Amino acid sequence: MGILRLILALSVLFWHMPNHNFLIFHGGIAVIIFFIISGFYMSLVINDKYSVGLEEKWIGKFYSNRVLKLMPVYLVFCFIEFIWYLKTNNPTVFTHAPDLNLQSRIVLIFMNLFIVGQDLWQTILTQQGYQANIPPIIGHITNFFGEEAFKQNYLLVGQAWTLGIEIVFYLLAPFIVKSKKTLIVLAICSLLVRIFFVMNPEVYSTPAWLMRFFPSVLLFFILGCFSYQIYKSINAISVRKRNFIGWALIVVVAVFIVSNVVVNHGVFTHNPYENYDTLEEWLFYILITVTIPFLFNLTKGSKIDNLIGQLSYPMYVIHGLIIGIVINSTGYKTSTQSILIIFWTILFSLALVYCIEKPIDKKFRKMPKQLLEKISD
């Protein structure tokens, strides 16, 4: 499944480039598929690894593992981004920011260091761009923290709001992914939240409420959890039949993607109103949900596919800075700009995987069991 994750990371990278010369997925659609994949993986590791035999303190071990997967790369990159902000004389919450009051500075420092809350902050930030019909609660929050706090440059990693959403799901996952009834109830609740925002565009006018607000996007994580249920059920199918269905689904998805890239300049890229709930889009979400378990079954033993998949997270985190550096160095438009951005993003992603992720993972695996239990506590 690593190749799919790499395609999604590249889709977000291409979407954020100044020149949309080549697109695969709409950036928002790529993020939604990431959420579905995350729901699948978290259901898989919780049900098949951490909670097997109801091992004591497994929830703590799950949380500590998630922290070690996300935070080292994120914090290293935050430091690099901070240096870049200093070099380009951009204010940050850690330096001279006279427009920030005490409470906003404290909250922004916390969110930059620990990610949690960036999704809601970005939703409010986006809502501020729609001056008409601002919901009263948003007005109260803005007055408390000050309008100046809701500026993009005060969050070092602009796209980290998706990681904030991921973390909230990680916190909930141990308590929900083992129960089908709980998943169904939460899926219905999340769907109702999405319907509410769709039906009230005059007040909640920004699409961020459908994309950056956790109760709205929880539905996509749950689709991934349902995908895991499919994965468990296909084990009853013969290997030959299972592989045939898997390859058939992969071909259908591949043809759909390639044909849209060739004919429509990308999958769902003509979406000026950031609408993620069309019938065609939902049919595609369902297709991906059904395909994921078969794709995982076909690729789970491949070391190359696993390495490719490992690149997706650092690529997602660092690509914004790489784009900024390349544009600053080469000018806004050059014939080689896109190639340079892709090259340096992949190169630095490899460096982060081999210099940060793998050494930490290796060290963590060698820790004595007693120490791991203390960390889990």
Give pLDDT tens digits along the chain (377 positions): 899 999 999 999 999 987 777 899 999 999 999 999 999 999 999 999 888 865 668 898 899 999 999 999 999 999 998 888 888 777 777 776 667 888 888 898 999 999 998 888 888 877 766 655 667 777 788 888 887 777 777 888 889 999 999 999 999 999 999 999 999 999 999 999 999 988 887 777 778 889 999 999 999 999 999 999 999 999 889 999 999 999 999 999 999 999 999 999 999 988 766 789 999 999 999 999 999 999 999 999 899 999 999 999 999 999 999 998 888 887 666 667 888 999 999 999 999 999 999 998 888 766 655 555 554 45
C-alpha 118/C-alpha 110 separation (Å) is 10
CB contact at 8 A, 341 and 9: no
- The DSSP secondary structure of 146-181, one letter per residue, reads -GGG--GGGSSSGGGHHHHHHHHHHHHHHHHTT-HH
Q: Residue 96 contacts by C-beta under 8 Å, 6 or more apart in sequence?
A: none
Of the candidates 345, 316, 249, 237, the one whose C-alpha atom is nearest the C-alpha of residue 34 is 316
In one-letter notation, the amino acid at residue 329 is S
Which contacts (CB < 8 Å, 24+ apart) does range 67-71 have? 68/360, 68/361, 68/364, 69/313, 69/357, 70/115, 70/163, 70/166, 70/167, 70/313
Q: Where are the beta strands (DSSP E) in 220-261?
A: none
Q: List the domain range (segments joined by +) for residue 298.
A: 2-376
* Model confidence pTM above 0.75: yes
Contacts of 95 (CB under 8 A, 6+ apart): 85, 86
Measuring CA to CA, how many Å separate 303 from each of 3, 299, 350?
12, 9, 15
How many structural domains are present in the chain?
1
As a whole number of angstroms, the distance between CA 288 and CA 284 comes to: 6
What is the C-alpha to C-alpha distance for residues 289 and 163, in angstroms, rounded to an integer?
21
